[in-house]
A = this chain, B = another copy of it.
Amino acid sequence: MYRTHTCGELKLENSKEKVVLSGWVKKVREFGGMTFIDLRDRYGITQLVFNMEVNEELCKAAMELGREYVIQVSGAVEERSNKNLNIPTGEIEIIVESLKVLNKSEVPPFTIENQSDGGDDIRMKYRYLDLRRDVVRKNLELRHKMAQAIRSYLSSEGFLEVETPVLIKSTPEGARDFVVPSRMNPHQFYALPQSPQTFKQLLMVAGFDKYFQIVKCFRDEDLRADRQPEFTQIDCEMSFVERDDVLAAFEGLTKQLFREVQNVEFDYDFPKMPFTEAMESYGSDKPDIRFEMKIKELTDIAKNKGFVVFDNADFVGAIKAKGCAEYTRKQLDELTEWVQRPQIGAKGLIYVKYNADGSFKSSVDKFFGADDLKIWAGLLEAKPGDLLFVMAGKRNPTLTQLGTLRLEMAERLGLKDKNTYKPLWVVDFPLLDWDEDTKRFHAMHHPFTSPVDEDIALLGTDPGKVRAKAYDLVINGVELGGGSIRIHDENLQKLMFKQLGFTEEDAKNQFGFLMNAFKYGAPPHGGIAFGFDRWVSMFAGLDSIRDVIAFPKNNSGRDVMIDTPSLISSEQLDELSLDLKKDTK
């Protein structure tokens, strides 16, 4: 038996007990003929004591232990004279009677402390050491706790967790698939699922009624900072539901998770905001509503005053930065440059200072007098001391640019309280999105999303105007999940494919099995999928999903710890009937 207790559980009431502990040597300190060791395991830290006068040999053995050695000790629990009340075991120590080295350790490339990680490259290469640090392990403990809470809640609500296949079929719609060559079917490939979308719909056709799964999904995309080639979704689907049934079910899940894991209680229904309102007021389809600072449109009152920028614009809008009228020239220039960076791409930034004395100072003083600016200020409910930012141009990018500036100003003004959570449902998304490159409409959500009933007639005449029965759960500006009511009518689905530019042949090739299934009594159904990694990282208070994943990949899709992807043998390639193309791009 390697231990009677863990390093996190011995307290004052265990005094005088004989115990056996195992763990890692965190620190060795010598002090006046005594040697103290902090012994660490997953559960905590316990202080070990060796006394030169009592047992010289043992004490010397202890002095030779290196950091991260794995040891086993036996001894008696004693009350500590020098208590550390910051840790649960801080009132006791172990007077060690015997010591066994279970395994040695080379000097680790960084110390296993919350503040020390050796930098990102080293952390990832030695991820098994990085995971020893409390701060990292706690994220994965949180992930475990959330997964159990989700499963337990959804099970109690009658949802069945069903495993859908990982080796499925490649479909060109959507992001790029990872593919898997089949040895038994030469020149044919499986694909890894971007989501279990079609399978969960088939489960509804199969009468499963309520399905969920916490499931790995895969996307072969060029990776941005917060993307991983494999990620985890909470995937859900229900039958015989309208939109609000789905929202109610998953608002329930959300509230339960906040209650159980974050100790946060929501005693109100989450607001539902139409997509157009989110765009017009917040310049984003995932508005952060922890703070106001809404966008106000000035187009009508700003045009035809001789300022060519406004006159040529089809949209003029502004936000108000509370109490910022004293911003310096330098600060304003820096913000102007900030919005002009290619990531945002604004042409420029106009400011209006509503000075504390009631006067106005703006970068458009030449065209707008105090009377004009006072009207603007009124529209934005600005008070003396406030600062307005105005942008103009095409409606679409300008709203987004204002929205981005809004988030930045909130950051600078400290309005993004990490301990405040403001959830909402964004609803009534457009069904289709016009793509200039391919000159065709794309499904904004996916091709099975149902249009809003009263908009179906527009599908043939003005497809861009059709709203979808789609919804996103947004919390603090983060899209945690999204879904839709699906099309269950075969003819409507055919019309939809047509609008998306699929030939009947294409549609049949790619989705034939789903369309076939729909011929045999598909119930009305809809669902949602949440980004589990993102949800965990929100609860952990992290900006990136990387540290809520045990073994993440880097931005080139590599696992630097196990060094993969890697070459395979020519025998493997032969078996798969594949050749490597000589000229690679």
Q: A residues near B, CB below 8 A? A: 1-3, 6, 22, 24, 40-43, 68-70, 102-106, 108, 126-132, 137, 140-141, 143-144, 147-148, 151-152, 155, 160-170, 172, 176-192, 198-199, 202-203, 205-209, 216, 218, 220, 222-223, 229-230, 232, 240-242, 245, 488-489, 512-513, 517-524, 549-551, 553, 556-559, 561-569, 572-581, 584-585
Question: 15 other contacts beyond A127-B202, A168-B559, with CB at 8 A cut-off?
Answer: A2-B242, A40-B207, A42-B209, A106-B519, A143-B162, A148-B152, A148-B155, A163-B216, A165-B230, A166-B230, A177-B572, A179-B180, A180-B565, A184-B220, A216-B216
Asked whether A144 lies within 8 Å of B160 as measured between CB atoms, the reply is yes
- B-side contacts of A192, CB under 8 Å: 166, 180
Question: Given known contacts A179-B576, A550-B203, A580-B579, is B184 in contact with A222 (CB within 8 Å)?
Answer: yes
Taking a contact as CB atoms under 8 Å apart, the answer to whether B577 and A522 are in contact is no
| Residue numbers in B under 8 Å from A553 (CB-CB) | 165, 167
Report the separation of the CA atoms of residues A147 and B212 in the bound assembly, to the nearest whole angstrom.
13
Q: Which residue of B lies closest to A182 (CB)?
A: B565
Question: Which B residues are in CB contact (< 8 Å) with A523?
Answer: 22, 24, 70, 102-103
Query: Judging by beta carbons under 8 Å apart, are B144 and A566 in contact?
Result: no
Q: How far is the CA of A182 from the CA of B179 in the complex (A)?
A: 9
List B contacts of A524 (CB < 8 A): 2, 70, 102-103
- B220 and A183 contacting across the interface, CB-CB below 8 Å: yes
Contacts of A222 in B (CB 8 A): 184
Nearest CB of chain B from residue A165's CB, rounded to whole Å:
5
Q: Top 4 A-B pairs ranked by shortest CB distance?
A: A131-B206, A105-B521, A188-B565, A2-B240
In the assembled complex, the Cα of A184 lies from the Cα of B191 at a distance in Å of: 17
Number of copies: 2
Tell whether, in the assembled complex, residue A103 and residue B521 are in contact, meaning their CB atoms are under 8 Å apart. Answer: yes
CA distance in complex: A524, B198 (Å): 44
Cβ–Cβ < 8 Å partners of A229 in chain B: 167
Q: Across the two chains, which residue of chain B brings its CB closest to A181?
A: B179
11 sampled A-B residue pairs with Cβ under 8 A: A106-B520, A108-B520, A148-B155, A165-B553, A167-B230, A169-B562, A170-B566, A184-B220, A186-B584, A199-B551, A574-B581
Per the bound structure, the CA–CA distance linking A436 and B104 in Å amounts to 38
Cα of A69 to Cα of B69 in the assembled complex, Å: 68
Contacts of A168 in B (CB 8 A): 559, 562, 564
Residues of B within 8 A of A190 (CB): 178, 564-565
With both chains docked as a complex, state the minimum distance between the C-beta of A216 and any C-beta of chain B, in angstroms.
5
What's the nearest-Cβ distance from chain B to residue A104, in Å? 7
Q: Is the CB of B128 within 8 A of A564?
A: no
A232 to B166: give the CA distance in the assembly, Å: 11
Q: How far is the CA of A568 from the CA of B171 in the complex (A)?
A: 9
CA distance A562 to B191 in the complex (A): 12
| In contact, B170 and A137 (Cβ under 8 angstroms) | no
| Bound complex: CA A191 to CA B180 (Å) | 9
Contact B180 A160 (CB under 8 A): no
Contact across chains for B169 and A144 when beta carbons are under 8 A apart: no
Set B1, B178, B566: member contacting A169, Cβ < 8 A: B566
**Interchain nearest-CB distance for A514 vs B (Å):** 9
In whole Å, how far is A28's beta carbon from the nearest beta carbon of chain B?
A: 14
Given contacts A565-B188, A579-B578, contact A41 B161 (CB under 8 A): no
Take A170-B572, A579-B578 as given contacts and tell me if A488 and B103 are in contact as well, using a CB distance cutoff of 8 Å. Answer: yes
Q: How far is B151's CA from A144's CA once the two chains are assembled, in angstroms?
A: 10
B179 near A521 (CB under 8 angstroms)? no
A164 to B549, CA, bound (A): 8
- Docked pose: A131 CA to B204 CA in angstroms: 10
Q: With contacts A151-B151, A565-B188 known, is A522 near B103, CB below 8 A?
A: yes
For residue A130, which residues in chain B have a CB less than 8 angstroms away from its CB?
A: 206
Expressed in whole angstroms, the Cα–Cα distance for A176 and B184 within the complex equals 12
Contact A163 B550 (CB under 8 A): yes
Complex Cα gap A563–B514 (Å): 11
**Are A563 and B169 in touch, CB under 8 angstroms?**
yes
Whether B70 lies near A567 (C-beta < 8 A) is no
The chain B residue sitting closest to A580, CB to CB, is B187
Partner of A160, one of B141, B521, B578: B141
Most chain B beta-carbon neighbours within 10 Å: one of A43, A144, A524, A565? A565
Please give, as numbers and ranges, the residues of chain B lying within 8 Å of A488 by CB-CB distance: 102-103
Interface pair B559/A207, CB less than 8 Å apart: no
Question: In the bound complex, what is the Cα–Cα distance between A521 and B41 (angstroms)?
Answer: 12
Contact A164-B241, Cβ < 8 Å, known A108-B520, A519-B105: no
* Shortest Cβ gap from A16 to chain B (Å): 24
Flag if A182 contacts B557 (CB, 8 Å).
yes
